[in-house]
Amino acid sequence: MLTIGSHVSFNSKEQLLGSLNEALSYDANTFMFYTGAPQNTIRSKISDEITFKALEVMKEKGIDYSKVIVHAPYIINLANNKEDDKYDFSIRFLTEEVKRCEQLGIKYLVLHPGSHVGLGVEVGIDNIINALNIILKDTSVVILLETMAGKGSEVGSNFYELKKIIDGVNNKNNIGVCMDTCHLNDSGYDVSKFDEVLDEFDKVIGLSYVKCIHINDSKNPFDSHKDRHENIGFGNLGFDTIIDIIYNPRLGDIPRILETPWVEKMPPYKYEIEMIRKKEFDPSLKEKVINQ
Ligand code: FE
Ligand code: FE
Ligand code: ZN
């Protein structure tokens, strides 16, 4: 069975139950969420009672909670230690995020490795490794490094950089990778030959490290280093390539997570998931989303 879902919201009132209900409304069987607004540090107290209720509903619906993903806030930058206070803040805030995942019973936390902001890739990687070894000292949470588009000074836009970070992390049980199809394309991996990309990943890192894949089309061409997501089948990857990736058996049953843009303030995920299950492109998808 295909494990597919999308990014969903997480609000202070309904928390995990609200996220779950949103995912169910898209006919998804998994989901990903931020525990609060990704661009600020305001976080509400997690209610164990709500979490417990959500877990019961998931059991009823046959949703495997071990595959539900949290995405770390993007204000965190572990690669930049130009200012001690900012670097310390990133370490502290991600440590708290790991604790929130523990309280929620979440196993996988997706992280953008960071941007070296002129310090150079080598220094950036050292900073990331140092931070991760502090953050992961005593936890069962697994941090998944996301494959990045290579915008600006982003670290992690090729498999060798991710491999270096993984090599430096003391406990290999706490580290993995989340692929992102838009980012792979934009960073210069030809995902229309996805088996070759997987071969390369397997050679450099090892396929067993991939625990999640973000499924996005791209507004930009191959190797553009841009990172702008497009709805499935409407971008430079195209529908057939994305279907081939989603159904590639070498990915096993890892969650496939859509992070495609909303269409005129409406979420497209129910329609995109339907299209993916049918394996048939619907050119009128965006109109259907708007008129839902
Ligand atoms: Fe991301
Ligand atoms: Fe992503
Ligand atoms: Zn992106």
CATH number of the structural domain spanning residue 181: 3.20.20.150
Instruction: List Cβ neighbours of 251 (8 Å cut-off, separation of 6 or more).
Output: 198, 210, 213, 245
Find the 91 Cα to ligand 3 centroid distance in Å: 22
Specify the pairing of strand 108-111 against strand 142-146: parallel
174 half-sphere exposure, CB direction, 13 A CA radius: 18
Considering every ligand atom shown, identify the ligand nearest to the alpha carbon of residue 259 and give its number: 2
- Residue 240 to residue 276: CA distance in whole angstroms: 10
Find the 1 Cα to ligand 1 centroid distance in Å: 25
- pLDDT tens, residue order, the chain (292 aa): 899 999 999 999 999 999 999 999 999 999 999 998 878 888 889 999 999 999 999 999 999 999 999 999 999 999 999 999 999 999 999 999 999 999 999 999 999 999 999 999 999 999 999 999 999 999 999 999 999 999 999 999 999 999 999 999 999 999 999 999 999 999 999 999 999 999 999 999 999 999 999 999 999 999 999 999 999 999 999 999 999 999 999 999 999 999 999 999 999 999 999 999 999 999 999 999 999 9
Find the 225 Cα to ligand 1 centroid distance in Å: 15
Find the 214 Cα to ligand 3 centroid distance in Å: 9
> Which residues are in the CB-under-5-Å shell of ion ligand 1?
146
Find the 281 Cα to ligand 2 centroid distance in Å: 22
Considering every ligand atom shown, identify the ligand nearest to the alpha carbon of residue 215 and give its number: 2
pLDDT in the model for residue 174: 98
Find the 143 Cα to ligand 1 centroid distance in Å: 12
pLDDT in the model for residue 107: 98
Find the 284 Cα to ligand 3 centroid distance in Å: 24
- Residue 235 to residue 230: CA distance in whole angstroms: 6
Query: By C-alpha distance, which of 189, 203, 235, 221 is closest to 213?
Result: 189
pLDDT in the model for residue 39: 82
Find the 59 Cα to ligand 3 centroid distance in Å: 31
Provide the strand spans (E) within the chain.
4-7, 30-33, 69-71, 108-111, 142-146, 175-180, 210-215, 217-218, 229-230, 256-258
Considering every ligand atom shown, identify the ligand nearest to the alpha carbon of residue 180 and give its number: 2
Find the 109 Cα to ligand 3 centroid distance in Å: 16
Tokens 């930058």 found at: 77
- Residue 275 to residue 292: CA distance in whole angstroms: 15
Q: How many domains are there within the chain? A: 1
Which domain range does residue 59 map to? 4-291
Find the 52 Cα to ligand 3 centroid distance in Å: 31
Find the 227 Cα to ligand 3 centroid distance in Å: 5
Find the 157 Cα to ligand 3 centroid distance in Å: 11
- The two tokens of residue 111 are 């992280």
- Residue 119 to residue 254: CA distance in whole angstroms: 35
Q: What is the DSSP string of 249-276?
A: GGGTTPPEEE-PPPBTTB--HHHHHHHH
pLDDT in the model for residue 221: 98
Q: Distance of CA 96 to CAs 10, 40, 86, 165, 254, Å?
A: 17, 14, 15, 21, 26
At 36, the amino acid letter reads G
* Cα torsion angle, 171, 258, 273, 62, sign: positive
Find the 49 Cα to ligand 2 centroid distance in Å: 30
pLDDT in the model for residue 55: 98
